[in-house]
Amino acid sequence: MSRRLLLIALAIAVWAAGLAAIAWAAAAWLGRALSTGEGVLVGVALAVAVFVVVQGRLQRDRRKMQDMRDSALW
């Protein structure tokens, strides 16, 4: 259980660092700090992008497993 909590804490820390890096880069590019709404929008966009990538990888892995099962039957 503690390993799972450690992984969750690590994921939260990586997520926060990623958002901070994006906010810093956007602030440097725009020449001003991001507003709260812009920060939320960036966070949501990042969450959707991560979700799409993870779902794509999971689908690819499921297809690989199905292909291995199918080939094992022949």
Dist. CA 74–CA 70, nearest whole Å: 7
**pTM listed for this prediction:** 0.61
For 6-34, the pLDDT digits (tens) are 888 888 888 888 888 888 888 888 888 87
The predicted model gives 41-51 an average pLDDT of 84
Residue-level pLDDT at 39: 80
Q: Could you say which DSSP state residue 67 is in?
A: H
Q: Amino acid identity, residue 38?
A: E
For 27-41, the pLDDT digits (tens) are 888 888 878 888 888
SS3 2: helix
Query: Would you list the DSSP string of 5-65?
Result: HHHHHHHHHHHHHHHHHHHHHHHHHHTSPPPHHHHHHHHHHHHHHHHHHHHHHHHHHHHHH
Task: Give me the chain's average pLDDT, please.
Answer: 85
